[in-house]
Amino acid sequence: MAHTTGKPQALLIFPPVYDFALYDLFLRPYALLKLGRWLERSGYAVTLVNALDYRKIENETGLKTPRRKPDGTGKFLRRVVDKPKVLSSLTRHYARYGVPHHILEQKIRQTHPDIILITSGMTYWYQGLQEVVRLAKKLHPHAPVVAGGIYATLCTCHAKNILEADEIIAGPAYPALCTILKNLNLPVPFAPPEEEYLMHPAYYYDACAIRLNSGCVFDCSYCASRTLGGEFSPGKAEQLARVVKNINTRFSISRFAFYDDALLAQKQKGIIPFLNQMKTLDAKLRFYVPNGLHIAYIDTESAKLMKQAGFREIRLGFESARHAFHSTHGFKHTAEMLGRAVDALKSGGFAPREIAVYVLAGLPGQYPEAVEESIRFAAAFGIQVFVAEYSPIPGTRLWPESVARSSFPIDQEPLTHNNTLFALQWERFTRKDMEDLKMLARTIRHELFKNSPD
C-alpha cells in the first residue's frame, strides 16, 4: 500500500462504551497514547481515533455537547439502545456512550492503516470493541486488526470466539505485538515502551492520564491488578516529571490523573521525589487519583507534599471496617489505620470534603449489615463515603466462589459482570438492599456537607 508519508501507518482506536451509566472520571486512552509513541519512535505514522471524544460534536452532528465540569470530568454523548437479553431484568435505560456511529465510521474511513490496534476496557464493555472491530474490518479489509486490553486479557477465550479480530493479545502489548508486526513484515520496535506519550494537540484536552509505577504490591481476592499489571515495579520519578512538564508546556494541560494501582508504594523512591519537583513549578498543576490510594502508606509528610504539589480530592480504598474482611480478602490495612490517614491528610491541608473513601459491597456471601457498619464507621471521621459495587472479575481469587454463588452465567457471558446487575445478589443481600446502602451513603454525605462550599 502506498502512503503519502512514506511510512507504515498504524490506526489506534479507543471504542465506545455500552452500559447503564458512564461518567468521565478521567477516562482517557492512556495505554494507546503510550503505545502510539512507541510505534512512532519505530517509524510509524500513528493516528488515534477516540470514540469517547465529545468535543466539536455540535458542529458535526447538531447534538448538544455533554455537561462537563471545570476539573475535566463530566458526561459523555449518550444514546439509549436496546438492552441485551441477559440484562433485560433491569428497568434502567441501557445506552451507547461515544460519538455517533456514522461519525466514528467517517473518522476511521479517513485513515489508511497497515495495522489497526483496538483496546478494550471493562469485561462487560466488549460490545464497543465488537462494534469497532467490525467497522474496521469493513472499511479496511486488508489491514490486520489486533485487539487487546482488559477484556481481551481477562476473557481471552470469549474474545476469540466473538470478535472478528485477526489477533487477540492477552496481557501487555510487549513483546506479543512485536511478533505480530514481524510476521506482517512491518517495523518492529526494538525495546519495551517507555513512559512517553504520543504527542498531538487533538489528543490532549481537559486532563491527561499518567502513571508512575506499574503493578501492585497487594494481591486482593477481588482485584485483577496483579493479573493485568503484574507484581509491583517502581517507576522513574524524573522521567514522569519530564512528561508532565512537556505536556503542560506544549498543550497547556494542568490536570493530571494517576492511573496507578499503588501510587504511594516505595514512595521515598517514587512519588516523593516527583512531588518535590512538582511543588516548585509555577504552572499550578492539579493531580487526581481516581483509582484511590492505599491507606497504610499515607502519613503527614506525603499528605503535605501532595497538597503542595496540587493534589485535589483524595480517594481512599477502605473496603470494610471489619477485620475479618481484610484477613480474608487481602490484608492491606486495618480499620484503625483510616483514622491515622484522615488525620494526616487533614494535617497536610486537605479539607474533609476533599477526602473520599470507598466501601466495597456485594461480594459473595456478604451481608448488607456489614456494609452499613463500614459506611457509618468511615463517615464518623467527617469525610465523604461512597459505596463501590463489587463486580466479579475472571482470574481473581474470588472468581471461583463468585461463579459458584451467582445465579447469572458470569463464567459464560461477560455482560453479567456489570455491577449494575449485581451478579452476587441473594436472599440476604438483594438489589434493593444495595440501593438502600447507596442512598444511606448519599444521605450521610448530604448531611455532612450541606452547609459547606462546593
Query: Within 13 Å and on the Cβ side, how many CA atoms surround 43?
Result: 10
Residue 385 above 80 pLDDT? yes
- Give residue 301's Cα distance to chain centre: 28
- Over the stretch 85-119, which tens digit does the pLDDT of each residue have? 999 999 999 999 999 999 999 999 999 999 999 99
Q: Is 185 helix (H, G, I), strand (E, B) or coil?
A: coil
The stretch 316-342 carries a mean pLDDT of 91
Distance from C-alpha of 40 to C-alpha of 198, rounded to nearest angstrom: 8
| Among the ranges given (61-65, 249-253, 368-372, 373-377), the one the predictor scored with the smallest mean pLDDT | 61-65
Q: Is 264 helix (H, G, I), strand (E, B) or coil?
A: coil
Q: Contact, 429 vs 368, CB < 8 A?
A: yes
Residue 3 above 60 pLDDT? no
Which grid coordinates belong to 112? 489508511
Q: What is the pLDDT of residue 2?
A: 39
Which grid coordinates belong to 356? 473520599
| Among the ranges given (71-75, 121-125, 272-276, 350-354), the one the predictor scored with the smallest mean pLDDT | 71-75
- Give residue 452's Cα distance to chain centre: 30
Residue 157 above 70 pLDDT? yes
Domains within the chain, CATH numbers bracketed: 9-183 (3.40.50.280), 207-449 (3.80.30.20)
pTM, 2 dp = 0.94
Q: What is the pLDDT of residue 58?
A: 56
- Over the stretch 198-209, which tens digit does the pLDDT of each residue have? 999 889 989 999
Distance from C-alpha of 30 to C-alpha of 196, rounded to nearest angstrom: 10
Residue 148 above 80 pLDDT? yes
- 3-class secondary structure per residue, 288-317: ECCCCECHHHCCHHHHHHHHHHCECCEEEE
Q: What is the pLDDT of residue 106?
A: 95
**Could you tell me the pLDDT band of residue 62, with boundaries at 50, 70 and 90?**
low
The stretch 7-26 carries a mean pLDDT of 97
